[in-house]
Amino acid sequence: MLTILLKLVFSIVSTLANLVTWLIFHTTAHCLVLLIHACKVPGESLRGALEQLAGAIRKCFEYFLELVVEQIVELTGSLISSAFNLLIGVVASSASASGAALGTFVDNTRASLHELFTDLPEIAEGFSEMVSTVVTDLWRNCMQALGYVKENA
């Protein structure tokens, strides 16, 4: 159940990241092309302005990438923290049980942990797939936007 839920979360994060980066890159590309067409003036003054704009855009992209990486690290940290809290809760509750209840609980806990450990590679694979998808979509959206500017400028 946890695996399915996490895969859904990873899919939603990937889709939202792709949508946001596509929107940012394409909006910037279209604005840049409009600016270039509106400012058909001698090259030196336009070149300086475009270099300034390119620097500002580059800084915005770096900031955006930094935010994305920070959120991914924070999400990973909270997932690990939740897993440890769950494990601590299981250990604490199993320590308070006694007799036959302890034996039953240990069997159930072993089955749950076995299921968790068998799902752990799937969860890690889903997370790495999400990160890979976000980075690939970011790069593809950037290249599409740059191609649009290059083609239409």
Q: How many domains does the chain have?
A: 1
Tally of CB atoms within 10 A around 32: 20
Residue 32 is assigned to a structural domain of this protein:
no
Residue 30 is assigned to a structural domain of this protein:
no
Residue 52 domain boundaries: 48-153
* Token pair belonging to 73: 């690290």
The mean per-residue pLDDT over the stretch 14-31 comes to 86
- Rounded CA gap, 137 and 35, in Å? 26
pTM: 0.48
User: What pLDDT does 96 receive?
Assistant: 55
Residue 20 is assigned to a structural domain of this protein:
no
Residue 14 is assigned to a structural domain of this protein:
no
Q: How far is CA 107 from CA 58, 68, 101, 110, 112, in A?
A: 56, 41, 10, 5, 9
The mean per-residue pLDDT over the stretch 2-7 comes to 78
- Rounded CA gap, 19 and 40, in Å? 32
Q: For residue range 36-65, what is the model confidence (pLDDT) as tens digits?
A: 777 765 666 667 777 877 888 888 888 888
Q: For residue range 9-22, what is the model confidence (pLDDT) as tens digits?
A: 888 888 888 888 88
Is the distance from CB of 135 to CB of 14 less than 8 angstroms?
no
Residue 89 is assigned to a structural domain of this protein:
yes
